[in-house]
Amino acid sequence: MSDARAEIQDLNSRYAIAFDSGQLDESVGCWVEDGVLDESETGFGLFEGREAIRAFFRDTLMANSTHVVHMMFNHLITSIEGDHGEGRVNCLVEIVKTDGSRSRAHVTYNDRYIRAEGEWKFASRVITSAFPHTVLTG
């Protein structure tokens, strides 16, 4: 089980590093083909399937930012049973938008994980606000 825990924690790091460095295919590849990203609470909506997630990342998040840094912490894996797991991780996201403004969001990722083809991926990720969104000036 400890190897699975480390691999799931690495999944979160792989996602953050890929997204922050603008590697669209690598960040989207962290989801299974029929994976779900639920950003309803943040106002972005629900994205079902890897291609919908890809379009959202490419056309909305990546298209409107020049720099992004995800700082993942307090990762708690609550269950691992065979090829399925669940957990949550907090994330502080710092963003520089294309208009030069900056924002900061502190969110919680509520995840379901699945091992597909020998690699852990997100089956679903539901994002909830953990702290009021902040628009930074200056």
**Per-domain residue ranges for the chain?**
4-135
* 3-state secondary structure (DSSP) of residue 17: helix
DSSP-assigned letter for residue 44: S
Please compute the mean of the pLDDT values over residues 22-42 and round it to a whole number.
97
pLDDT of residue 133: 65
Mean pLDDT of the chain: 94
What is the distance in angstroms between the CA of the first residue and the CA of the last residue of the chain? 47
Contact indicator for 124, 111 with CB cutoff of 8 Å? yes
Residues with Cβ within 8 Å of 39's Cβ and at least 6 positions away in sequence, in order, are: 45, 46, 47, 56, 127
- List the structure tokens of 52: 């919908």
* Residues 61, 58: Cα–Cα separation, whole Å: 6
Please compute the mean of the pLDDT values over residues 62-77 and round it to a whole number.
96
- In this predicted model, what pLDDT tens digit does every residue of 85-132 receive, in sequence order? 999 999 999 999 999 999 999 999 999 999 998 999 999 999 999 877
The matching CATH number, chosen from 3.10.450.50, 2.60.260.20, 3.30.450.40, 3.30.2130.10, for 4-135 is 3.10.450.50
pLDDT of residue 13: 96
Contact indicator for 89, 115 with CB cutoff of 8 Å? no
How much of the chain exceeds pLDDT 70, in percent? 93
pLDDT of residue 134: 63
pLDDT of residue 1: 46
